[in-house]
């Protein structure tokens, strides 16, 4: 079945499931002391939930910065979603970018655990918001 054949709701469910599955992957990476990879997946878990939100509101982009900008402009600034979630997303994006592109980046276990906790909260908040707009 192609993407065109999928309904919007199916795609939203798919992206949210990707986000939830990424939580499990991050947990395994942290337990195996693969902290840089965990940071990467933490951001991508949030990104998948943002893709679901974008689908819900018919926003399309393939660019991470555009998606983040849209989220901040349409949800954080308008106070539809608490400001702390904008910070959580920014921190995860900056950590992921640093871990992926900078040299000799070492993440502390406690730092990654905090990012992981924030990730779970972020995904849950996005899921709650999507459900509230479906009612």
Asked if pLDDT for residue 33 goes beyond 70, the answer is: yes
Rounded to a whole number of angstroms, the distance between the first and last alpha carbons of the chain is 28
What's the pLDDT at 1? 47
H helices within the chain, ranges in order?
A: 8-31, 35-56, 64-71, 83-101, 109-134
Would you say residue 49 has pLDDT above 50?
A: yes
Q: What is the pLDDT of residues 58-81, one digit of tens each?
A: 999 889 999 999 999 999 999 999
CA separation for the pair 79, 59 (Å, rounded): 18
Domain boundaries, the chain: 3-128
Q: Are 43 and 120 in contact (CB under 8 A)?
A: no
**pLDDT, mean of residues 76-94:** 96
- Residues 6 or more apart whose CB falls under 8 angstroms from that of 77 comprise none
Average pLDDT over residues 107-135: 94
The architecture that CATH gives domain 3-128 is Up-down Bundle (1.20)
């Amino acid at each position: 079945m192609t993407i065109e054949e999928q309904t919007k709701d199916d795609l939203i469910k798919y992206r949210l499931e990707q986000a939830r599955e990424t939580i499990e992957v991050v947990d395994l990476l942290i337990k195996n002391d693969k902290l840089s990879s965990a940071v990467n997946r933490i951001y991508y878990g949030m990104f998948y939930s943002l893709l679901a939100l974008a689908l819900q509101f018919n926003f399309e982009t393939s660019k991470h910065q555009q998606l983040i900008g849209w989220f901040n402009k349409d949800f954080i600034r308008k106070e539809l979603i608490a400001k702390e979630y904008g910070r959580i997303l920014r921190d995860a994006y900056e950590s992921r970018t640093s871990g992926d592109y900078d040299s000799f980046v070492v993440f502390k276990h406690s730092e990654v655990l905090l990012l992981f906790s924030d990730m779970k909260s972020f995904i849950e908040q996005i899921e709650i918001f999507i459900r509230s707009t479906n009612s």
